[in-house]
Amino acid sequence: MQRTVPILHIDNYEDAKAFYIDWLGFEIDWEFRLEPTFPVYMQVSRAGLVFHLSEHKGGNFGPAMCHVDVDDLDALMAEWKSRRPDFTQEIEIAPWNAKHISLKDPFGNTLGINQDLATPPET
Whole-number Å distance between alpha carbons of 47 and 30: 16
Whole-number Å distance between alpha carbons of 111 and 6: 11
Q: How many domains is the chain partitioned into structurally?
A: 1
> Would residue 1 count as lying in a domain?
no
Q: In this structure, which amino acid lies at residue 13?
A: Y
CATH of the domain at 26: 3.10.180.10
Q: Are strands 49-54 and 7-9 parallel, antiparallel or unpaired?
A: parallel
> Would residue 14 count as lying in a domain?
yes
pTM of the model: 0.91
Phi, psi of 9 (to 5 degrees): -75, 135
Each residue's pLDDT, cut to its tens digit, for the chain (123 residues) gives 998 999 999 999 999 999 999 999 999 999 999 999 999 999 999 999 999 999 998 767 779 999 999 999 999 999 999 999 999 999 999 999 999 999 999 999 999 999 999 876 566
> Would residue 2 count as lying in a domain?
no
Using a 10 angstrom Cβ sphere, with 0-12 exposed, 13-18 middle and 19 or more buried, the burial of residue 21 is middle
Quick one: the chain helix, strand, coil %, rounded to 5?
A: 20, 35, 45
**How long, in residues, is the chain?**
123
> Would residue 121 count as lying in a domain?
no
